[in-house]
Structure 1
């Protein structure tokens, strides 16, 4: 499963989706994870819709996008693109903590939403 993290530093989930200039892409399963790519999304766009579409197109076929904040319009657009949006609990939550929490969910009683995301990623 691929996860795109909105981050300034590849340590913390500390960027708002619409203002994020970099996404860090990880591949994870229940036991391991590895960093795939850093994606620059700093290219300026003319309109809000263009900006959101551009950022979504940069997510490298991610299954989940994990951000500090996500507005309602962006959330709807991300979902329409087949990506599951998630918000962090604060700007001190680390990418490693999120990965560990997701792996724990994957290896115990996996919630229905995560099962759906995992199945979509296998298609």
Structure 2
């Protein structure tokens, strides 16, 4: 399972979805093995007035992480949660260390 994570440092899930300027992409296999894949840069949803309508920015962000099954962030609003779910991405508020959150997520799956 691929997971997109909102983080400023790649260690802690410490950022609101709307403030994300990048997503750390991880793969968690069926045995719980965690592998870092890449960082994907984006324009943050909040404060994106210069980049077009917020709905357009949200669509671009969802497209950027559309191959992921889950998104982990410290906080997320109801509208982005709804849109992510429509695209098959499970939003999870998990303000923890990335490795802890990924292990917990793999245990649930």
Larger Rg: 1
How many residues matched?
103
Secondary structure (helix, strand or coil) at the match of 1:9 reads: coil
Ranges in structure 1 where 5+ consecutive residues have no aligned partner:
106-113, 115-123
The answer to whether the 8 Å contact 1:18/1:51 transfers is: no
Secondary structure (helix, strand or coil) at the match of 2:75 reads: coil
The residue number in structure 2 matching 1:24 is 24
- Provide the rounded CA distance (Å) in 1 between the counterparts of 2:75 and 2:91: 10
Deviation at residue 31 of structure 1 after TM alignment: 3.0
The residue number in structure 2 matching 1:77 is 83
- Provide the rounded CA distance (Å) in 2 between the counterparts of 1:102 and 1:73: 23
Secondary structure (helix, strand or coil) at the match of 2:52 reads: coil
Regions of 4+ moved over 6 Å: none
Ranges in structure 2 where 5+ consecutive residues have no aligned partner:
none
Normalising by structure 1, we get a TM-score of: 0.77
Q: Aligned-pair RMSD on alpha carbons?
A: 1.5
Normalising by structure 2, we get a TM-score of: 0.86
